[in-house]
Amino acid sequence: MIVNKRLNDADLIYEGAVLIWNSCLPFMTPTYRELFTKSFEAASVLLEQIDSTDHGLRVKLHLELAKAYFTN
């Protein structure tokens, strides 16, 4: 996501966020949730910066971040 931010390409940022979500999805358990918080934070911030219209993905990322922060 850092490289995507430097390139400032909205499509690449969106694809990176989708890739992060899809690759972390099988591991969404309370045991592993905190391992993905930095990736989810980066993806959600960059999606906000490009004003992504994929609100579903943004909500899912924020929900998992909330679970990680408020369950510990």
pLDDT at residue number 24? 92
Question: How far is Cα 52 from Cα 42, in angstroms, rounded to an integer?
Answer: 14
pLDDT at residue number 52? 92
Domain that holds residue 38: 2-70
Overall domain count for the chain: 1
- Mean per-residue pLDDT over the chain, rounded: 89
pLDDT at residue number 6? 72
pLDDT at residue number 72? 59
pLDDT at residue number 63? 93
State which residues of the chain have pLDDT below 50.
Answer: none
pTM, two decimal places: 0.84
